[in-house]
Amino acid sequence: TRTPVNVTVTGAAGQIGYALLFRIASGHLLGADVPVRLRLLEIPQGLKAAEGTAMELDDCAFPLLQGIEITDDPNAGFDGANVALLVGARPRTKGMERGDLLEANGGIFKPQGKAINDHAADDIKVLVVGNPANTNALIAQAAAPDVPAERFTAMTRLDHNRALSQLAKKTGAQVSDIKKLTIWGNHSATQYPDIFHAEIAGKNAAEVVSDEQWLADDFIPTVAKRGAAIIEARGASSAASAANAAIDHVHDWVNGTAEGDWTSMGIPSDGSYGVPEGLISSFPVTTENGTYKIVQGLEINDFSRARIDASVQELAEERDAVRALGLI
Ligand code: NAI
């Protein structure tokens, strides 16, 4: 039998946590033969609700679930963690400036980064879901100098999956026919979903679509603003699809992408495609044996270049803002 993997989830009592924990415990995160031990990290006000969720996890009698611990202490929460899903964050409230938002999140992600640095397992993999995800990942990474920088990633997989679905709808294809789509940049309204290298049943997606106006005025804004559209329709944020994307992100990171395809992850830039080194930006990546590689050699046309640059510019501004606040 395999040794259990320790998975820590922050914000475990929240909406995404509720949609996420059951799928981790049922084997969708790591594999149907990998036992897991869950750590739920919450703030004191969230502990009671987390206990309720843990009661339900017990009641599922998941064969793979080998234990649940609940804590409000990051040092205990990340002790021995192999995978950390940082979901809990401070949302933007009315009238809040970006500086205030970044500072409030710095108060969460800096101590969590330090606790990961001091207590997590050597093979720790971190996915930041809580927004602003890319910059929160940067803050946590900066607080964890002993952990290899590339272990800190940010979630753009929900954007990737949304783009797949919109493209399938437009072309009448199945999502399973679409390969090599890319989200570039920040998980924000400036993100750039790129179909110029995507393939639909082996044909170039941009040529199949052959409608640049649809790309610019429909596809890109629909993907980028999908979160707001869900809130408008559902009266609540997109928790289940976000949880699903977190599962996909870690699953592919650990288990590898399919031959002839890639996925999108927010990862520390190595300078590829003109993205300044160190920014946590979304790239096309392939994964194998628990490591990822940026897909190299893609030709970037002017349409794409302008949009990638704009999103990367926003990331650079967020980095400069958290640097000025002393958070990195
Ligand atoms: P929620 O408000 O339902 O839950 C957040 C939970 O985090 C709460 O239970 C809260 O007590 C907890 N929390 C707050 N500070 C914490 C801390 N320091 N340590 C541990 N727990 C803490 O929010 P929801 O809907 O679950 O969303 C969580 C985050 O995910 C939000 O920041 C949201 O913007 C983000 N998100 C990101 C997406 C992406 O694609 N990257 C997609 C959808 C949501």
pLDDT tens for each residue of 46-87: 999 999 999 999 999 999 999 999 999 999 999 999 999 999
Q: pLDDT class for 97, splitting at 50, 70, 90?
A: confident
Contacts of 190 (CB under 8 A, 6+ apart): 224, 307, 310, 311, 314
Give distance in angstroms: CA of 160 to centre of ligand 1.
20
- Three-class secondary structure of residue 95 per DSSP: coil
Q: How far apart are CA 16 and CA 24, in angstroms?
A: 12
Give distance in angstroms: CA of 60 to centre of ligand 1.
24
Give distance in angstroms: CA of 101 to centre of ligand 1.
13
- Give Cα separations from 143 to 10, 109, 140 (angstroms): 17, 8, 5
Q: To test the ligand 1 pocket, which listed residue (8, 47, 191, 237) has its Cβ within 8 A of the most ligand atoms? A: 237
Mean pLDDT of 4-15: 98
Record the tokens describing residue 313, joined without a space. 């510019």
Residues 239-271 have pLDDT tens digits of 999 999 999 999 999 999 999 999 999 999 999
Mean pLDDT of 295-302: 98
Q: To test the ligand 1 pocket, which listed residue (43, 48, 234) has its Cβ within 8 A of the most ligand atoms? A: 43
Which of the residues 119, 160, 187, 251 is marked catalytic?
Answer: 187
**Ligand 1: which atom is nearest the Cα of residue 46?**
11
Binding residues: 11-17, 92, 98, 105, 112, 129-131, 162
Q: How far apart are CA 309 and CA 300, in angstroms?
A: 11
The yes-or-no answer on residue 187 being catalytic is: yes
Closest CA to 155 of 180, 183, 193, 178: 183
Q: How far apart are CA 27 and CA 305, in angstroms?
A: 39
Query: Considering the entire predicted model, what is its pTM?
Result: 0.98
Q: pLDDT class for 94, splitting at 50, 70, 90?
A: confident
- Ligand 1 binding pocket includes 133 (Cβ within 6 Å): yes
**Ligand 1: which atom is nearest the Cα of residue 41?**
20
Record the tokens describing residue 217, joined without a space. 């005025």
Mean per-residue pLDDT of the chain: 97
Of the two residues 91 and 240, the one the predictor is more confident about is 240
Position 1 pLDDT exceeds 80: no
Q: Are 258 and 194 in contact, with CB atoms under 8 Å apart?
A: no
- The single residue listed with the structure tokens 């050699």 is 297
Give distance in angstroms: CA of 77 to centre of ligand 1.
16
Give the whole-number percent of the chain exceeding pLDDT 70: 100
**Per DSSP, what are the bridge partners of residue 282?**
185, 266
Q: Are 280 and 179 in contact, with CB atoms under 8 Å apart?
A: no
Mean pLDDT of 203-209: 98
